[in-house]
Structure 1
Amino acid sequence: MRPALLLQLAFSSSAGKWRPGTAFRCTLGVALPLLLALATGHAAWGVLASTGALNAGLASFNGVTRRRLRVMLGTSLTMSLVTVLALLVGTHTGLTVLVLMLVGAGMVLSGALGASANTISIQAITTLVVISGLGLPPALALPGGALVLAGGLVQTLLLTVVWPAGRHHPERRAVRRVYRRLEDLLGALPTPGDLLPEAAPFQEAWDVLDEARRFRWRPEHARLRQALRLAEGLRAALVGYARADRQVRERGLSAEAGRMVQALLNALREVQGQVMQGQATLPPATAAGLHGALAALTGEAARPLHDWAALMVRLLIDLGGEPEAAAPSRPPPTSWRDTLAALRRSASPQVPLGRHALKYALALGLTALAVRLGHLPHGYWLTLTVGVVLKPEYVTTLTRGVGRLGGTLLGVAVSALLLWAFHPGERALLFGLAAAWLSYAGFLVSYAVFSAAITVYVVMLLVASGVAEGAVSGERLLYTLLGGAVALAVSLLWPDWQARSLPGLLTRAAQAQLTYLETVATLWSGGDPEAASAARAQARALRVQAGNLVRAAHLEPARAQRLPLARADDALMRLNASAALSLSLHAEALQLHPPRPDPSGVSAPSAARLDRARQELDTALQDARHLCAELAAGAS
């Protein structure tokens, strides 16, 4: 166990995903039913309607615009049906436990079908646990379901028709994050060692654009796709550029290197602004600045940096080129028969997902039963924590539990401070709406931040409804702690250890890296650039999975590991080193392909440089083959 790694994973954050504007739009949808209900004296109606609005707003963060619309509508309808079911069975302990088990298992299986289904399944479980735990009369079932549906539909209407955030904002933001990450890395030069730009922002951007293919493809998508492809080239070139930048600075050319970096940074910032407008071109003045900084890199001492900078300049200038005219082919839609067959296969206890569905259903049902038999006030928070924290993997359960506990601690502290200082009574609703805004704004940033904000929201909503102030925060904290402990205990008693799949995954990642290196080798002699890009994407995806799995293995008990973690760390380090080299060689090959006049006037690499690159490639190929053989032997 590595406590520092546990805290890093539990409280990780992505500041670039902060969404204050979208949060304001979503909070308006939550505020409308609450304020209307308070004005008419029907606070309970407002709580139900705002629940639908809150969930629909959270669903709006999922995917491209048209997909978001479908997910929001699907979420609103599902939450309405779940509310009806929860109110019908909520006063009967046996039925409540049975429904929680059946719906919990079903939502685990359906959530594996994709990101949208997973979003809906999590919110369905949350709504079912909370509404069934309130003990409201069954006569409210149909009116309550209608109120939840109305709140969700109003939120959907606000976010997609009345006040939409922007038709293609998800695609634009994803590509902008890629260029922002390149800007951050370039601004950090010089670096003491080899630079390997992280792959996650690129993978997320490709996923968003691939998702857009399933809906209406527009010319803007072609421009964004071209910008992302060229960003991949910039990422590859940055590996060699960082090394050359360090070399020329050591030779006393820091001023020239700094000027080149500044010109590239200006260009990357311009591109980010253009991308958010659906474009990806450089103004003439910025292009002139690039060529001016490049022309200052003269002499043999500056030659390494000049060549790499020339490649990056060419890629940035190529942003103004004509993108591919044809839209990429859409993947065939999945039929309902295929979906049902996939659900049947995943429901088997012979597969990990089926085992987790059974484990999840039992944990949720037994916890709800204990809460009911113990007559715990607001005990549904305990069941809710188990339902939210318990995941298929032990490490995900552990990190999510720690993140939720930390966020809840902060939320409880903030709530207690606000209640002590203001004793707000019904005015607590204003603090609750501010917390709802923070929940939305930080939803994609950090799970701990979201947990803290949603805790304040729930506490303030209960206080505004007349619940005693002193009991709310303490109960929330206690039940969160107990629920996290229950979820962790279930994971330990009925585990599916991730570390046991580590040798196989590392082997597949090494084989994919080997394939990528071989396609790069063919690219030097006129091979297909698209094949090299596809091989790079496959190798990157498996390498990212392997890195995540190695980190997870460090948090699992020693008995779960079949490969010594020192060997796993070494294998991952060698994979990353091979990736850095292959990216560098791939970027150099781009200087030779396609064979056309270079607008920057830069000549192709010399024969001696090409020979040295091929020797490095041969060494990397041998290392990857050795790694594959070593891991295959370790797995057996």
Structure 2
Amino acid sequence: MSWLRALKGTARSGLTVERARLEPLAALRAAVGLALVIGAGLALLGPGAAASSAFGAFMAAIATFQQSWRPRPVLALASGLTLAVSTFVGYLVGASHTGLFLALLAAWTLVAGLLWAAGPTAGIIASGNVAVMLVTVTLPTSVAQAAGHAAMIAAGGVVQALLIVFFPVRRWGAQRDALADALAAEADYARRLRQDPVAPFDPAPLMRARAAATVTARQARRRPAELHGARGLAERIRPVLASLADPAVGGPGEGPGRDRVRELLAAAGDVLDAAAHAIRSGEPVRLPAPSPAVLKSPDTADLLTGAPLRAARRLAALLDDVLETARPGSGRTAAPGESMLRPTLPAMVPVVLTAVRAELRPGSPILRHAVRVTAVACAGYVIGQALPFGHGYWAPMASVMIMRPDFSQTYARAVARFGGTLVGVAVATGIVQVAQPGMYLSGFLAVVSAWLMYTLMRTGYAVAQLFVSAYVVFLLGMGGVRWDQTVPDRVALTLVGGVLAMIGYALYPAWETPRLRTRLADWIAAGGRYAAAVLDQYADPAGARRADVREALLAARDARIAWQEALDRAAGEPVRHRGLSHAAADGAGDALAAMGRCAMLLEAHVPDRGQAPVPGAADLAEALRTATGAGAKAVRERRVPQWDEVRAVLADWGAPGQGVLRGAAPQLLDSLDEVSEALRP
């Protein structure tokens, strides 16, 4: 993609307004918290302290809207307290010497950039705190005032946390949505299998549900019963659906047996949708009348035999368990020891340090982002101070808020921030000129702007920035700063910060395109390990560990998602494919997804521990491990992978395997051959 096309694409993306699910009650709660903080600050301490506390409450509320499974009060407290510390330390350093403050800004920004290694939520909160710190350090005029402002900022975070505790909005809503989305995705999968027995399935909803099900010990004691257990059932239903639909190992390709398979799949889709709706809303399950009768029809045994019949009965039993789990108030709440536990924030410190240390290597995109945003923020601060404007901190603040580890987001946010700022300050200026608001009316208008931002922030960065700009104009106006003292400076310096961010990425990029082969190789190796782990169950039903299959499956899913995310990021980069064209990437990805599906079909029919080992399974498992490991190395070295070991094992079998292996094993080899064909020059 050329630079011109890439810039057009990112500009269009940045200014796009998306339809998104809004959270008006949560936004109203956040705005009420902001109003309480501003009102108390104005009444007791004056406009300067009110502005500081308002920034603390504002950023704490933004933290609670991030995509995180941690309790929202914890996020609000973490944001408010870290911003308070940053403000106090920043004032102490900045009041004595500009050079020292620049060094502190560099250190703070570098740490914030590295915190992206711990995940986007940590990166966003850290970046936001650095940006807002640039504003809040200018408000106090003494050390005592700085301590007071820091205390007010922390109080803003505490107020938002207390409001979440005492006025919860849709308890466990994010976790309910994640689990319901997983069940709804499987319902859609069941319906697609009726028309296409080898339809693909994106595991992302299941992975999101797993992340949502990982809770703190406190959450585990309070989690509703309907959120405990359904995810595990959803994981077990997916391979049963695939094995029932696939003609190679499941129902017949045509005739009455195939018609019954389609009826079962349609009924499964209805049941899963009903369970998803019940879990999402917390209401009783309402089932379409025909579905249970179809799933438990006695004449299924007349139309299906062997593996398809076992899959049909297994499906009915699993769906019964899903319905039982989805009923509100049914079952029991899991004890902490029975749950997947998330460490507390203090316990996360060594985990985060390990993740950051792992990124301190040449070529790390996180390290490059940290260095890049540090250099741009420092340059923006120096330029902002040198330009004949007031409020020179707006340039580095804009840069820090704009920059992200990947190209598309950085450039899209730069365009969106400038466009939103231009419109926001224009609207706010018009209101100020017409209404001539005083201190309290300015505070009220700031709260209204923040409420609109909280409500609409998921519709796009440009929309959010529009209301953020208005919020800042009204908030500074609350302290007596005239609009003509802020608006021209903010617009000009936001443009400077955006341009610096774009130049910084262009000069020191972290392109995803050259790393695509590595991501693909990781998926090949992980997919091979998963298939081999499943085959180990056939080779030694009594001794093989079932947990090995689960661990390999999760690793393969992580590799697949990493590949897909990298592919999406690379699609908007102005970089040549460097040996992996779009067609090759799509073909190899489809083939590896098919290989994973074959392994999943085998997993659905793993023999019981009392059964005899399946001849040839051990040889095929070892061949897969060896071949996919060598194939991953070949992909990294820009060679076409070969699968001679797997081909030789299947040739030695004569007849292709035993039982389910008869249908699935050749499909594994076909998928690997398709990977090679896609990568062939």
- Of residues 4-13 and 511-520 in structure 1, the stretch that sits farther from structure 2 once superposed is 4-13
Alignment partner, residue 566 of structure 2:
549
1:569 aligned to 586, 590, 594, which one?
586
Q: Is 2:291 the counterpart of 1:290?
A: yes
Alignment partner, residue 638 of structure 2:
none
Alignment partner, residue 338 of structure 2:
327
- Of residues 523-532 and 167-176 in structure 1, the stretch that sits farther from structure 2 once superposed is 523-532
Q: How does 1:348-367 map to 2 (within 5 A)?
A: 351-367=364-380
Do 2:263 and 2:294's aligned partners in 1 also have CA atoms closer than 8 Å? no
Q: How does 1:150-229 map to 2 (within 5 A)?
A: 150-160=155-165, 162-165=166-169, 168-182=172-186, 195-212=199-216, 217-218=220-221, 220=223, 224-229=227-232
Alignment partner, residue 490 of structure 1:
504
Structure 1: distance between partners of 2:608 and 2:430:
63
Alignment partner, residue 99 of structure 2:
94
Do 2:116 and 2:366's aligned partners in 1 also have CA atoms closer than 8 Å? no
1:317 aligned to 309, 315, 320, which one?
320
Structure 2: distance between partners of 1:539 and 1:220:
29
Alignment partner, residue 45 of structure 1:
49
Do 2:215 and 2:340's aligned partners in 1 also have CA atoms closer than 8 Å? no
Do 1:509 and 1:539's aligned partners in 2 also have CA atoms closer than 8 Å? yes
SS of the aligned residue for 1:496 comes to coil
1:544-592 deviation line (CA, Å, top 9, x unaligned): 11011122223223357353343223222322343455455555x38x8
Alignment partner, residue 142 of structure 1:
147
Q: Pick closer, same or farther for the CA change 1:66–1:185 going to 2, 3 Å.
A: closer
1:350-404 deviation line (CA, Å, top 9, x unaligned): 7554444333222111110000011323442221121122233334423443454
Alignment partner, residue 78 of structure 1:
82
Q: Pick closer, same or farther for the CA change 1:19–1:558 going to 2, 3 Å.
A: same
Alignment partner, residue 604 of structure 1:
none
AA of the residue aligned to 2:550:
S
Do 2:37 and 2:54's aligned partners in 1 also have CA atoms closer than 8 Å? yes
Number of residues of Structure 1 aligned to a counterpart in Structure 2: 614
Alignment partner, residue 649 of structure 2:
none
Q: Pick closer, same or farther for the CA change 1:260–1:447 going to 2, 3 Å.
A: same
Structure 2: distance between partners of 1:386 and 1:272:
42
Structure 1: distance between partners of 2:434 and 2:260:
56
AA of the residue aligned to 1:622:
L
Q: Pick closer, same or farther for the CA change 1:310–1:350 going to 2, 3 Å.
A: closer
Do 2:69 and 2:211's aligned partners in 1 also have CA atoms closer than 8 Å? no
Q: Is 2:635 the counterpart of 1:622?
A: no
Q: Pick closer, same or farther for the CA change 1:288–1:571 going to 2, 3 Å.
A: same
Alignment partner, residue 398 of structure 1:
411
What runs of 5+ residues in structure 1 fail to find an aligned partner?
596-607
Do 1:241 and 1:308's aligned partners in 2 also have CA atoms closer than 8 Å? yes
Structure 1: distance between partners of 2:300 and 2:360:
67
SS of the aligned residue for 2:287 comes to helix
AA of the residue aligned to 2:386:
L
1:96-149 deviation line (CA, Å, top 9, x unaligned): 3222112111222345345664344223212222224x4653453122112212
1:612-633 deviation line (CA, Å, top 9, x unaligned): 9645522342245447778999
Structure 2: distance between partners of 1:249 and 1:451:
57
1:432-467 deviation line (CA, Å, top 9, x unaligned): 323322433455665444334423332333445444
Do 1:256 and 1:296's aligned partners in 2 also have CA atoms closer than 8 Å? no
Do 1:520 and 1:582's aligned partners in 2 also have CA atoms closer than 8 Å? yes
Do 2:359 and 2:367's aligned partners in 1 also have CA atoms closer than 8 Å? yes
What is the Cα-based RMSD across aligned positions, in Å? 4.9
Do 2:194 and 2:265's aligned partners in 1 also have CA atoms closer than 8 Å? no
SS of the aligned residue for 2:216 comes to helix
Q: Pick closer, same or farther for the CA change 1:9–1:464 going to 2, 3 Å.
A: same
Alignment partner, residue 502 of structure 1:
516
Alignment partner, residue 641 of structure 2:
none
AA of the residue aligned to 1:327:
E
AA of the residue aligned to 2:500:
V
Q: Is 2:63 the counterpart of 1:59?
A: yes
With the length of structure 2 as denominator, give the TM-score of the two structures: 0.74
SS of the aligned residue for 2:180 comes to helix
Structure 1: distance between partners of 2:380 and 2:281:
47
SS of the aligned residue for 1:497 comes to coil
The alpha carbon displacement at 1:422 in A equals: 6.3
AA of the residue aligned to 1:361:
T
Q: Pick closer, same or farther for the CA change 1:79–1:413 going to 2, 3 Å.
A: same
1:536 aligned to 529, 534, 553, which one?
553
Q: Is 2:36 the counterpart of 1:32?
A: yes
Do 1:290 and 1:313's aligned partners in 2 also have CA atoms closer than 8 Å? no
AA of the residue aligned to 2:317:
R
AA of the residue aligned to 1:20:
P
1:514 aligned to 511, 528, 543, which one?
528
The alpha carbon displacement at 1:468 in A equals: 4.1
- Of residues 197-206 and 65-74 in structure 1, the stretch that sits farther from structure 2 once superposed is 65-74
Alignment partner, residue 23 of structure 1:
27
Structure 2: distance between partners of 1:482 and 1:264:
53
Q: Pick closer, same or farther for the CA change 1:522–1:346 going to 2, 3 Å.
A: closer
Do 1:107 and 1:122's aligned partners in 2 also have CA atoms closer than 8 Å? yes
Do 2:523 and 2:563's aligned partners in 1 also have CA atoms closer than 8 Å? yes
Q: How does 1:197-276 map to 2 (within 5 A)?
A: 197-212=201-216, 217-218=220-221, 220=223, 224-236=227-239, 261=266, 264-265=269-270, 267-274=272-279
- Of residues 395-404 and 365-374 in structure 1, the stretch that sits farther from structure 2 once superposed is 395-404
Q: How does 1:100-111 map to 2 (within 5 A)?
A: 100-111=105-116
1:248-272 deviation line (CA, Å, top 9, x unaligned): 9999x99996997477436533444
The alpha carbon displacement at 1:12 in A equals: 8.3
1:220-264 deviation line (CA, Å, top 9, x unaligned): 4786342111222344456678889xx99999x999969974774
- Of residues 115-124 and 28-37 in structure 1, the stretch that sits farther from structure 2 once superposed is 115-124
Structure 2: distance between partners of 1:188 and 1:408:
45
AA of the residue aligned to 2:669:
Q
Do 2:80 and 2:154's aligned partners in 1 also have CA atoms closer than 8 Å? yes
Alignment partner, residue 639 of structure 2:
none
Structure 2: distance between partners of 1:80 and 1:184:
47
Alignment partner, residue 605 of structure 1:
none
Structure 2: distance between partners of 1:256 and 1:352:
48
- Of residues 42-51 and 392-401 in structure 1, the stretch that sits farther from structure 2 once superposed is 392-401
Alignment partner, residue 124 of structure 1:
129
Q: Pick closer, same or farther for the CA change 1:192–1:64 going to 2, 3 Å.
A: closer
The alpha carbon displacement at 1:347 in A equals: 4.9
The alpha carbon displacement at 1:511 in A equals: 1.9
- Of residues 382-391 and 54-63 in structure 1, the stretch that sits farther from structure 2 once superposed is 54-63
The alpha carbon displacement at 1:290 in A equals: 2.3
With the length of structure 1 as denominator, give the TM-score of the two structures: 0.78
- Of residues 563-572 and 467-476 in structure 1, the stretch that sits farther from structure 2 once superposed is 467-476
Do 1:403 and 1:448's aligned partners in 2 also have CA atoms closer than 8 Å? yes
Q: Is 2:461 the counterpart of 1:461?
A: no
Do 1:60 and 1:72's aligned partners in 2 also have CA atoms closer than 8 Å? yes
The alpha carbon displacement at 1:159 in A equals: 1.9
Structure 1: distance between partners of 2:602 and 2:349:
45
- Of residues 225-234 and 14-23 in structure 1, the stretch that sits farther from structure 2 once superposed is 14-23
Do 1:26 and 1:57's aligned partners in 2 also have CA atoms closer than 8 Å? yes
AA of the residue aligned to 2:398:
T
Structure 2: distance between partners of 1:9 and 1:392:
17
Structure 2: distance between partners of 1:6 and 1:241:
44
Q: Is 2:385 the counterpart of 1:372?
A: yes
Q: Pick closer, same or farther for the CA change 1:423–1:594 going to 2, 3 Å.
A: farther
The alpha carbon displacement at 1:542 in A equals: 0.8
Structure 2: distance between partners of 1:458 and 1:380:
13
